[in-house]
Structure 1
């Protein structure tokens, strides 16, 4: 059944007159009459009773009119939605957040995006380490990622948003917990709670690098995958940790956040997307995220 015949039928039904319906449709009356007859033949139903004086819709026509209007409204809605998708105003986006950004940026950034882009549905994934986010971008599970560089993938574009220092997390009962800024060397004998090693966490590498610059390598380490677990372990007195400064937004009783004395290692936070991302919807989000977070320095990804 052709959509235009449904449009013709609705016009005739609403005008109750072939001449007026033809004017409304900007076509001649004879072709309109032929199209209605063709529709009736296709359906095997009489939709109108025609006399020399008037056109009356039949009961079958009345029922079809209700459905026909719904069909045309649905088509209009579909066209509008397609246009909005093409303009990046409607659709679904999956965003991943690295562990520390989960507690700092996730709540506020999601609120901003929902307010500024109300037609966008957000699927949000927190506590994702950088390698996992890169894989999720490559396989299409994620559309955007807030992660910690470096990213070694030729399929990913990376834009640095900000840098932040590492800070210490100590148990409340630790002798240095109330002494102000902590010298990293003074933690050399403590057990360190860390993110996963073996190239699974950028922050792990930054922590080890900072410790080596302070003259030691932690003798004992306990690895955990999630920031909340890491801070909880510290609060329980199982060790100390170094984390990006933004983790201090995660408040857990028994854990104290302290700056490191002197210079310290910094880590970067970046926004990552696929190279040549075709979605106009995804393209709208980075600019808003960059404006909200601050920064926006694009870096080159190593090509292999």
Structure 2
């Protein structure tokens, strides 16, 4: 009689299913017998229908899709645990993995890269650039130790510490009529092309920008999306329009023929947060986070009486 699965068996089979169903989903017809074994295991042992076989096709159920997402998270946590264990065993230099958006404020990045911890003189940083939603997920599943994220969604599993708030800016040719102003509004840019970061990079900011344009009745000629802000310079010089960018990024684009002006709308201000797991137990990561906050917000009170980082600074 087959024995009941142990706590060790479940993660093993879970990760096996992850590799079979997701990574190798395009080989299901070749490995049909392997997939069948996995499906029977979960249906018979855990009463879970991960996928349905119909002749030569295998389709995930709704529960199976949730299951696979969990497998991905478990796989990431396992890999992270292995890296940490190897670092301890081999006495490798301590590493903090930090994430940020491609549009992060350069001043925040300079502060982040300039942290020195006396207790960890050989500390190394591993830097990852991702969009906002990817950053939050990577912190949750421990792929990242901490991240600088622009306006992340509230999550009880994350600690959010406000670092800085800056207005959105417009980058334009010096010949544009609005370049003579100290600050500008959306109605200054009707009838020209717009260059904007992709919505998935910062959904809330993108939506507020489009809503403010609707309220101001500022109609654009064409809407372009950029990944690298540097892409906009040639388009601006070729009279394709104006670009919208965060203050620190926009200031790097300014030059003799390029003007940068602040948008006066309060709804278009951008707030950046330091984000880490609420249950973060690593002394190194917490010390690094506190050092970063002290550098950016020297007058802030960092901890509660229990020693935990305070929220909403």
TM-score (norm 1): 0.59
Change in 2 beyond 3 A, CA 1:262/1:144: closer
The yes-or-no answer on 1:139 pairing with 2:138 is no
Q: How far apart are 1:133 and its partner, in Å?
A: 1.0
CA distance in 2, matches of 1:160, 1:136: 19
Q: CA offset at residue 169 of structure 1?
A: 1.2
Provide the residue aligned with 2:209 in structure 1. Answer: 207
Judge which range, 217-226 or 227-236, deviates more: 227-236
Q: Which string of whole-angstrom CA distances, capped at 9 and with x for unpartnered residues, describes residues 101-150 of structure 1?
A: 25332234312347885332101234x32112112223333211111113
CA drift at 1:172: 3.3
For the residues of structure 1 that align with 2:237 and 2:311, how far apart are their CA atoms? 37
2:280 corresponds, among 277, 281, 293, to: 277
Q: Secondary structure at the match of 1:109?
A: helix
CA distance 1:269–1:236, change in 2 (3 Å): farther
1:21-45 CA-to-partner distances (Å, cap 9, x unmatched) read: xxxxxxxxxxxxxxxxxxxxxxxxx
Give the Cα separation in 2 of the matches to 1:288 and 1:134: 21
Distance 1:114 1:284, change over 3 A: closer
| CA deviation after TM superposition for structure 1 residue 211, in Å | 2.2
Q: Residue 183 of structure 1: which of 173, 178, 185 is its match?
A: 185
User: Take 2:263 and 2:145, find their aligned partners in 1: how far apart are those partners?
Assistant: 35
Tell me: CA distance 1:115–1:279, structure 2 relative to 1, closer, same or farther (3 Å): closer
CA-based RMSD of the aligned residues comes to: 3.4
Aligned pair partner of 1:241 in 232, 235, 243: 243
Contact 2:105 2:246 in 1 (8 A): no
Match of 2:123 in 1: 120
For the pair shown, the structure with the greater C-alpha radius of gyration is 1
State the aligned residue count: 215
Q: Does 1:111 align with 2:114?
A: yes
1:159-178 equivalence runs, <5 A: 159-178=161-180
TM-score by length of 2: 0.58
C-alpha deviations, 1:133-186, integer Å up to 9, x for none? Answer: 112223333211111113254432222112111121112343332443223211
What secondary structure, in the 3-state scheme, does the structure 1 residue paired with 2:240 have? coil
* Deviation by residue 1:5-26 (Cα, 9 ceiling, x = unmatched): xxxxxxxxxxxxxxxxxxxxxx
**Where in structure 2 are there 5+ consecutive unaligned residues?**
1-86, 303-309
Map of 1:228 onto structure 2: 230
Question: Residue 272 of structure 2: SS of its match in structure 1?
Answer: strand
8 Å CA contact retained: 1:208, 1:217: no
CA distance in 2, matches of 1:227, 1:182: 20
- The equivalent residue for 2:98 is 95
CA distance in 1, matches of 2:214, 2:294: 36
- Offset at residue 282 of structure 1 (A): 0.8
Pick closer, same or farther for the CA change 1:203–1:233 going to 2, 3 Å.
farther
Q: CA contact under 8 A between 2:167 and 2:264: conserved in structure 1?
A: no
